[in-house]
Structure 1
């Protein structure tokens, strides 16, 4: 058997580095962290790299930003290259372990501009983060963007909490919805690619 490839990699678009260059290493409040996530999410779809989604990993206690991620499904050609997966993976590489909740390590949190899809829910669960901070949760994301977020459990937040992951909701919620609305206008006007599971 000949392998088609020996592996693959997912990289952040070049514009992300320029976008965060002047951002302080420490963002003390969750609102500041979420504001950066919203900025990245809005620019990401405008740049054409993927959907209007971004995430970051930070040390909960200090606010030190460890990594950022944006959705690069379209740019990478990899369906799993969601913002949360990119942010978690780059954070794990930065700290040198797959377990962001390992002993003697500061508690880390994942900050995302909406409740994760089913894939990223699992990635969050196994990453070791001790908190998930989301701008919102509910049907608005799917209604506005037409993305299929998958068959999420209704008790998703309780399941995370039961496993030691605190869930903080409604941090700059309206700003997230503004990004999704702008994205929807662009999709309706230009027919931008919305990648979905095939539902019937």
Structure 2
């Protein structure tokens, strides 16, 4: 048998018996498939681990807390999960400015008729997410089994997506609407500064 079976077929070996060349080739194919499976599983496991680390930070854990779990230094955690520093800064800022964010949302909603935006559905989404935040930040709020950090993701969305979108695309017609838009943009700017985005 001189024709190569695939790129993994090294050809005949002096000690081959019977169909050993084909068996060897099948074993090499199986090895390659096993390596690819191993790599995929490792990537998937790493993604799950990174998500768990991210969730822990959104729930108020520090890099030092992660170090206790991993048995490694905070610097090692930063190196392994480079986005954690930004998450920690955002979460810390959000935790200290819940009332400021909801105030900005409220004044924007109250003056929405005087703020022109490309798609007015943004105000409906703003109201819906803010209502969810209101429920989630009640002292009696209980975990429903879905996203454990949902309240923080929703609060972050209020600032980083919805208020930001209104600030970037909205035009106030004057009066209180100007004040509302200016206040909302101030909150977004403060968020960016705290998150280290002010130079981006």
Report if TM-score (shorter chain) is over 0.5: no
TM bucket (normalised to shorter chain) is: under 0.3
TM-score norm. by structure 1 comes to 0.23
TM-score norm. by structure 2 comes to 0.23
Greater relative contact order structure (CA < 8 Å, 6+ sep)? 2
Would you tell me which structure has more strand in proportion to its own residues? 1
Computing the radius of gyration over CA atoms, which structure comes out larger, 1 or 2?
Answer: 2
